[in-house]
């Protein structure tokens, strides 16, 4: 029984050894969005950020030919989410030496309310 738990723990840890953590700033508040590797990006839910934004990070790891990190920002001021920003990176991307991970520091503006969201993402191990 102990060995089964240990094996399950070790296999689970190696399967999700890396992830993507996005640091989001809106209205003076800091939010964190974490994306674990998945093979189905359509099941990844976005995270509501304040009143006017939704942020989604999808880290597709399998199959290899579709492996990528996709980032989406939606405006939700009209009730329904509307895509206003999208970025895509190879799954093999590495963090830069600078402090802003692999994305750099980004600014996204909601067009009707003039709200500003800032974010940067890093790969974590």
Q: Where are the domains of the chain?
A: 37-112
Distance of CA 66 to the CA centre of its chain: 17
> pLDDT digits over 82-105, tens only?
999 999 999 999 999 879 999 999
| pLDDT level of residue 77 (50, 70, 90 thresholds) | confident
Integer Cα distance of 11 and 18 in angstroms: 13
Question: What is the model's pLDDT at position 2?
Answer: 42
pTM here?
0.83
Integer Cα distance of 25 and 15 in angstroms: 30
Query: Does the pLDDT of residue 5 top 70, yes or no?
Result: no
Q: Are 94 and 125 in contact (CB under 8 A)?
A: no
Q: Which of 106, 102, 61, 104 lies closest to 85 in space, CA to CA?
A: 106
Q: Which of 107, 108, 100, 115 lies closest to 22 in space, CA to CA?
A: 100
Indicate the range of 8-17, 31-40, 72-81, 82-91 predicted with least confidence. Answer: 8-17
| pLDDT level of residue 17 (50, 70, 90 thresholds) | low
């Amino acid at each position: 029984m102990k060995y089964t738990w240990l094996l399950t723990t070790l296999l689970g840890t190696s399967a999700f050894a890396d992830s993507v953590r996005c640091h989001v700033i809106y209205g003076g508040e800091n939010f964190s969005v974490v994306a674990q590797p998945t093979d189905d990006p359509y099941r990844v839910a976005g995270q509501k950020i304040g009143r006017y934004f939704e942020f989604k990070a999808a880290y597709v790891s399998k199959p290899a030919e579709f492996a990528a990190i996709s980032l989406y920002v939606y405006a939700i001021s009209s009730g329904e989410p509307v895509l206003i920003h999208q970025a895509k990176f190879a799954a093999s991307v590495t963090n830069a030496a600078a402090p802003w991970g692999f994305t750099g520091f980004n600014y996204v503006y909601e067009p009707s309310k003039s709200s500003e969201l800032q974010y940067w993402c890093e790969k974590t191990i």
